[in-house]
Structure 1
Amino acid sequence: MTITKRAIVLSATAAAVTAVIVTGAGLHLSKSQAFFRESPKEIVDEVWNVIDRSYVDGTFNQVDWKAMRMQYLNRSYATKEEAYKAIREMLKKLGDPYTRFMDPDEFKNMQIDTSGELTGVGIQLAADEKTKKLTVISPIEGSPASSAGVLAKDIITKIDGKSTEGMDVNKAVTLIRGPVGTQVKLNVARGDRELEFQLKRAKIEIHPVRFSVQKSPTGGNIGYIRLVQFSANAAPEMREAIQNLEKQQVSGYILDLRSNPGGLLYASVDIARMWIQDGGIVSTVDRQGESDRENANRRALTDKPLVVLVDGGSASASEILSGALQDNKRATIVGTKTFGKGLVQSVRGLGDGSGMAVTIAKYLTPNGRDINKHGIDPDVVIELTDEQRQALVRDRDKIGTAADPQFAKALQVLNQAAAVRPQAESKPN
């Protein structure tokens, strides 16, 4: 299975890439075929064909997919909107919240976190696979949502007073987005509490990597790297961070993937290769059982001790990276269980300007673990209380410091690893 950089997205977000594959271009059609392509039924059939060719589950969730085609093409559609409603109804039968249809406006407005800039409040959304409720995967660090205190696993119950019961993720994204400077009110369920957030929309510039040198209690220096997204510039920024910290002769590293919702597959592979000298990184398996395996390339930038911080907002590409580091015994994973999103989507443009995301494969860790719905279990578990979490939200400068309990634990684990490690060169041969 060939993985292209443009089309493959590993993210639990409601956003989508804008790379398109327009079908039917350049064909010479008969009059009857041309009429069919211009009718609302054409887009229904186009979506059906994409699923029929590419969907990861060859049983289509135990649905007779060929019968679905006849059922939906035998209907009459007076408008494209009626066809769009039917498409969403058809896709719902797959039971997969990540396979979704976007009308032209939704497809145009939805952005994946690869451009380095977003407009909105900075929330990553998905429909919970069991409850179908709109769930926050992660607020983007530094965004209006993050600054206001929105947390991973929060359930959005209302948007500007409109109930989200049964609401499609794409519809929710459309309602939340809007012009910079305008406001949107979100009602959120957090456990048994109901919260309300008044958020001002903003342009969010994203630099996926930040790093610093931290003093260890034992007197040495350690490198702290926080990665917030696997965007197109994540790998080059990560390389720069490691090379800079190596020059400062740090004794080890803490890589913070907390609340990182994922992003591009190739970014996670490239970053894994900076830490892993030999071994597997990830394999993707489609419905034919074909597997594409990505391996280390013997070009790791450092072999110094590494601790990785994760939590329930660490999803998809974050889980690929942490799973690869864990299976190769390259790092100790500290924090709480990750989100559990082990599916690969391809985002495609359709003939009328609409688009769809279709789950085409699942990914496995080097040891063959399927982490979808389960997640990565940390080697060392440390939970944050609500009070500790809120303190970090109120003062984000405390993240990655001694005032951050999970970071403090990671530092302890790193010091133990560095103490038992013999002195060696910083870069693998």
Structure 2
Amino acid sequence: MLDGVRPQPATGRRPVRAALFAPLVLLASSFCSSAGAAEASPCPPDWEVQICELKAVVDVLKKEHLTEIDVPAFLDETIRLGVKTLPYARFFNAQERQELIKKDQRTRNGAPGIGIIFETLPDGLHIIDVVPDAPAAQAGVRTGDLVVAMDGNSMVGIDNAEIAKYANGEAGAPLKLTLLRGPSQQRLELAPLRAVIKPRPASVKRLDGNVLYTRLASFPEPTIGDYIDVVQAERKKGPPAAAVILDLRINGGGALNAAIGMTALFTGRDKTAMVTLQRDDKIQHRISTNWPDYDLPVMQGQDPLAPLQGDDWWRNVPLIVLVDGQSASAAEATAAALKDLGRARLLGTPTYGKGMAQTGVDIRDGTQVSWSNARNLRPNGCPMEGHGVVPDWIVPPRKDADMDGVLLGYREVDIPRAAYASKTAPDPFADVRKERQRLRERRALAKLDPANSAALPQKEFGTAKDWQLQQALNALAGKPVQVVAVNPRFMPAQPACLKLDVQVTERQKTQ
């Protein structure tokens, strides 16, 4: 399992026009007349001019290029380059589409991997967690390592979508990693052997005071059923559980409907779990905590919460949710809904800030395009996109953590948007992004130790070393919580919240 935490229908749109074609624009003029030319354009009226330009370029290259080119592959790559500049959009050719289907199946049933969780940043893959007892951990990979190459292929500047073709392999096959470690950038070569790693998103442990410490590592489709099973099993083992801590740290999300179901589990029916905005924010859809608003294929039409409607424990037990800068998408949607509905209090650091939902459609000949089709609003009407969710108690991952560095960790707000991604709204975070990069560069010149702002590794979650967990236990016991004061300039900007139309009852199922 190589699990990139962040993770990145009509093709006739401006993204297909790229600098690649600029030297040949004059050659295209005979195919697509300019606005000032006398002759009418031969393009169909519903085509963008740039599609004609692309056709002209392809015709020229087919006839005049030094070598014969693979036109279908060339056009696939042209579309791919344009589509991937849009937020979380992807184009899959027929082969990639089949590989994606197989990958999804392997993810559900277990897949060969080495067990690292990482962020894809410009200088390589930053390891933010290593799955305990997985091949990477056994080979000596550590949290905080930087992967700069896999099997000799550079990971510097790589797109997250391209990693799989270097990382995938059969169980038992080695994956050579080139790592940089620590402030000295010690260079290491490790070669863990891939093994089948089965997803274990839900876990539970009973702590002192009969507090159930529960953790969700991700949000795959079976999340709700898995979570209910492990919690119910632990409840039966001992005295009544007095409280629940739901740990969503380093949880990159997954199926959005699983987040809605988790919200419904703890809040009950007839609540607004989320509102989505579509097409320039003009279409509102209310998503409720009622079945089937959280339906997923894995449920086979059966409501997993129906047997729990008579068990008030789920809706009344004291609940604290742990979040951090790696809590993204479905994870932060769950945290936001539980907070806004008054069901839980949040502790930790501001979340990642991914507030868009994606959908996909098959185009032709087995190809597919996925794109962002909705912006998610919290039940209180505030957007998560670029802002994330700010906890009730701001507590660093470690008692002596460098909070400025923690808050400058890579977030959704740091992802640049193509200038043409929206004709009506320029990139709202451009200035914030520049300021955050300037602050990072200043800190780099000061040679501050990045380890002091690193996320807490998974192997320490739920232990005595887990500072945020200890503060959550203090809160449940009525003891003081040791929060920290933070510089407002490092915190997410206050979002502009909308007044929601509570009468909207349409629902939308997205993943």
Matched, 1:352 2:370: no
User: With structure 2 as the length reference, what TM-score do the two structures score?
Assistant: 0.60
User: Structure 1 CA distance, aligned partners of 2:366 and 2:242?
Assistant: 52
Give 1:215 shift: 1.3
Contact 1:121 1:177 in 2 (8 A): no
User: Structure 2 CA distance, aligned partners of 1:106 and 1:123?
Assistant: 23
SS, match of residue 302 in structure 1: helix
User: Structure 2 CA distance, aligned partners of 1:245 and 1:50?
Assistant: 55
User: Structure 2 CA distance, aligned partners of 1:303 and 1:409?
Assistant: 21
Contact 1:209 1:234 in 2 (8 A): yes
- Structure 1 residues 378 and 264, CA, compared in 2 at 3 Å: closer, same or farther? same
Matched, 1:306 2:319: yes
Contact 1:224 1:254 in 2 (8 A): yes
- The match for 2:232 is 243
User: Structure 2 CA distance, aligned partners of 1:391 and 1:372?
Assistant: 24
- Structure 1 residues 179 and 138, CA, compared in 2 at 3 Å: closer, same or farther? same
User: Structure 1 CA distance, aligned partners of 2:129 and 2:274?
Assistant: 23
Partner letter of residue 411 of structure 1? L
Matched, 1:371 2:384: yes
Q: Map 1:379-390 onto structure 2 (within 5 A).
A: 379-380=392-393, 381-384=395-398, 385=401, 386=451
- Structure 1 residues 140 and 283, CA, compared in 2 at 3 Å: closer, same or farther? farther
Match of 1:411 among 447, 467, 473: 473
Give 1:390 shift: 9.3
Deviations 1:267-321 (A, max 9, x none): 1111111111363211221115222222234957331111111222221110110
Matched, 1:209 2:209: no
Give 1:49 shift: 7.4
Contact 1:51 1:358 in 2 (8 A): no
- The match for 2:349 is 336
Contact 2:79 2:91 in 1 (8 A): yes
Measured on the aligned residues, the alpha-carbon RMSD in Å equals 3.6
User: With structure 1 as the length reference, what TM-score do the two structures score?
Assistant: 0.71
Partner letter of residue 66 of structure 1? E
Partner letter of residue 180 of structure 1? A
- Structure 1 residues 134 and 401, CA, compared in 2 at 3 Å: closer, same or farther? closer
Partner letter of residue 173 of structure 2? T
Contact 2:123 2:148 in 1 (8 A): no
- The match for 1:100 is 90
- Structure 1 residues 406 and 327, CA, compared in 2 at 3 Å: closer, same or farther? same
Deviations 1:238-258 (A, max 9, x none): 222343455541110011111
- Structure 1 residues 336 and 391, CA, compared in 2 at 3 Å: closer, same or farther? closer
Q: Specify which structure has the bigger relative contact order, considering alpha-carbon pairs within 8 angstroms and separated by 6 or more residues.
A: 1
Match of 1:69 among 51, 71, 88: 51
Identity fraction in percent: 28
Contact 2:114 2:192 in 1 (8 A): yes
Partner letter of residue 106 of structure 1? E
SS, match of residue 338 in structure 1: coil
- The match for 1:291 is 284
- Structure 1 residues 226 and 416, CA, compared in 2 at 3 Å: closer, same or farther? same
- The match for 2:505 is none
Contact 1:229 1:260 in 2 (8 A): yes
Match of 2:72 among 80, 105, 116: 80
Partner letter of residue 99 of structure 1? A
Q: Map 1:119-130 onto structure 2 (within 5 A).
A: 119-123=112-116
Instruction: Extract structure 1 runs of 4+ deviating beyond 6 A.
Output: 49-52, 387-391
- The match for 2:445 is none
| Greater Rg by CA | 2
Give 1:352 shift: 3.1
User: Structure 2 CA distance, aligned partners of 1:358 and 1:138?
Assistant: 28
Count of equivalent residues? 354
SS, match of residue 232 in structure 1: coil
- Structure 1 residues 334 and 132, CA, compared in 2 at 3 Å: closer, same or farther? same
Q: Map 1:129-278 onto structure 2 (within 5 A).
A: 143-145=134-136, 148-149=140-141, 151=143, 156-187=147-178, 194=185, 196=188, 197-216=190-209, 221-247=210-236, 248-277=239-268
- Structure 1 residues 47 and 135, CA, compared in 2 at 3 Å: closer, same or farther? farther
Deviations 1:323-356 (A, max 9, x none): 1112122212122222221121123444333433
Give 1:101 shift: 2.1
- Structure 1 residues 49 and 151, CA, compared in 2 at 3 Å: closer, same or farther? farther
Structure having the higher strand fraction is: 1
Match of 1:322 among 296, 320, 335: 335
